[in-house]
Amino acid sequence: MVHLSLKQMRYAVAVAETGQFGRAAKACNISQPALSQQVQAIEELCGTPLFDRLKSGVRPTPFGMEFVSRARQVLESADALAAFTLGHAGEPDRPIRFGLIPTVAPYLLPEIFPALTAGLPGLGFTVSENRTDALIAGLVDGSLDVALIGTDAPLHGPRLVSRPLFEDAFVLATSRSEGTTTPVSLSSLAPERILLLDEGHCFRDQTIAACRLDGDPGARTFAATSLSTIVEFVANGQGVTLLPRIALRKEATDPRIAIHDLVSPGAGRLLSLVWREATPFGATFDKMAEIIRATHP
C-alpha cells in the first residue's frame, strides 16, 4: 500500500507552483536536497516521474499534473478540517498568521495593526514579512492564513480569494539638487539612472514594467534589499527611483529628497488581501479587509 504524507504532497505542489526545486525548498523552509529526496520518494512509490527535469527548471509530467491536482484537493480538505477543529463560530482560537510584502509592511502595518486588534477583539496576530511568491506559497502549504500583497497579476495555484483594498500610486523620488520639474513623464527618465530593488520583489517588477526598461535588468550593478537603501542613494544624487505613495511618510523625510507626481496615467499597484477559498475563516478575513480600507485614508 502506498503511504503519502501531507507534507510530501505540499512539497510536490510547491515544486509545481514555483517551477524550480530551489524556490520550492525556500518557500517550504527546508533544504533543496531534503525536498528533492521527498519528491523522489513519491516518484519511487508511484513508479513514475512527477516532473520533467529541464535546464530552466521543472515541468510536471502528465501523471504529475494529475497527482498535483489531486494533492491540492487533499490538502485543501485537510487544511479546512484542521481549521474547523481549531475554529469556533468562524473565528480561529489561535493567532491569525498574517503575511505582508516588505514594500508594504513597514509603511502600512503601524497604521492598520491597532485598528485590526481593536476591530477584532479577542483575536491575536502573528505577523511576518516576505516576498509575494513566498507568501503565496505559505497560503498554499498552510503556514499562512492571510496575506497582503501588491500585484494585479492573476494568482496561480489552489483556489484563492482576493479582496482589493486600495490603489497605491507611484511617485518619482529624485535628489532635490537635480531641480526636476513636476509632473514627470516616465518616458523621459534615463533607464540607467533608475534604481531597483533586487530580484524577487514584486515592486521591482512593477517598476520595470512602468518604466518599460529594456534589456536584462538583472545585469545591473545595483540592486537594493530595501527602499530605504535606494532612497539614500537617491538623496546622494546617484540615481532616481519610483516609490509607492504609502512609503512617503517614512522614506521622504530627508530634505535632500524631492518627490514628483507622474504625468497621467502614471503608474501604481493594487493592494489586496488574499486567503485560501477553503478556509472557514473567510468572514474574519473579509472583516480585516473592511478595517484596512476604513483605516487607510
pLDDT digits (tens, 9 = 90+) for 55-77: 888 999 999 999 999 998 898 88
Q: Is the domain of 65 the same as that of 206?
A: no
13 contacts 72 by C-beta, under 8 angstroms? yes
| 29-33, 78-82, 105-109: range with lowest mean pLDDT | 78-82
Residue 158 falls inside a structural domain: yes
What cell does 1 get? 500500500
Q: Is the domain of 157 the same as that of 225?
A: no
Which pLDDT score is estimated for 200?
67
Q: Is the domain of 55 the same as that of 188?
A: no
Q: Is the domain of 248 the same as that of 285?
A: no
Where does the pLDDT of residue 285 fall: very low under 50, low under 70, confident under 90, or very high at 90 and above?
very high
Residue 1 has pLDDT above 70, yes or no: no
Residue 130 falls inside a structural domain: yes
Q: Is the domain of 137 the same as that of 80?
A: no
Residue 226 falls inside a structural domain: yes
pTM: 0.69
Structural domain including 196 reads 169-266
Q: Is the domain of 56 the same as that of 34?
A: yes
Question: Of 62, 86, 110, which residue constitutes the final position of a domain?
Answer: 86
Q: Is the domain of 112 the same as that of 252?
A: no
Domain of residue 234, CATH code: 3.40.190.10
Which pLDDT score is estimated for 157?
52
State the Cα angle at 266 between 265 and 269, rounded to 5°. Answer: 110
Residue 249 has pLDDT above 70, yes or no: yes
Residue 119 has pLDDT above 80, yes or no: yes
Residue 183 has pLDDT above 70, yes or no: yes
Q: Is the domain of 144 the same as that of 274?
A: yes
Q: Is the domain of 177 the same as that of 261?
A: yes
What would the pLDDT profile of 123-140 be if each residue is shown by its tens digit? 899 999 998 888 988 888
Where does the pLDDT of residue 212 fall: very low under 50, low under 70, confident under 90, or very high at 90 and above?
confident
Residue 187 falls inside a structural domain: yes
Residue 216 has pLDDT above 60, yes or no: no
**CA separation (Å) from 273 to 161, 183, 231, 288?**
8, 31, 27, 8
Question: b/e map of 183-221 (b: 16 or more CB within 10 Å)?
Answer: ebebeebeeeebbbbeebbbbbbbbeebbebeeebeeee
Residue 54 falls inside a structural domain: yes
Average predicted confidence (pLDDT) for the chain: 86
User: In the chain, what percentage of residues exceed pLDDT 70?
Assistant: 90
**CA separation (Å) from 186 to 67, 194, 238, 260, 276?**
46, 10, 18, 11, 37
- Residues 11-17, mean pLDDT to the nearest whole number: 92
Which pLDDT score is estimated for 86?
61
Residue 1 falls inside a structural domain: no
Question: Of 86, 120, 137, which residue constitutes the final position of a domain?
Answer: 86
Q: Is the domain of 20 the same as that of 31?
A: yes
3-state SS, residue 131: coil
Residue 163 has pLDDT above 70, yes or no: yes
Q: Is the domain of 262 the same as that of 176?
A: yes
Task: List 148's β-bridge partners, or say none.
Answer: 100, 273
Residue 100 falls inside a structural domain: yes
Q: Is the domain of 196 the same as that of 127?
A: no
Domain of residue 11, CATH code: 1.10.10.10
Of 244, 31, 49, nearest to 149 by C-alpha is: 244
When divided into structural domains, the chain yields a total of 3
Pairing between β-strand 268-276 and β-strand 146-150 as defined by DSSP bridges: antiparallel
Residue 238 has pLDDT above 60, yes or no: yes
Rounded CA-CA distance 28/7 in Å is: 10
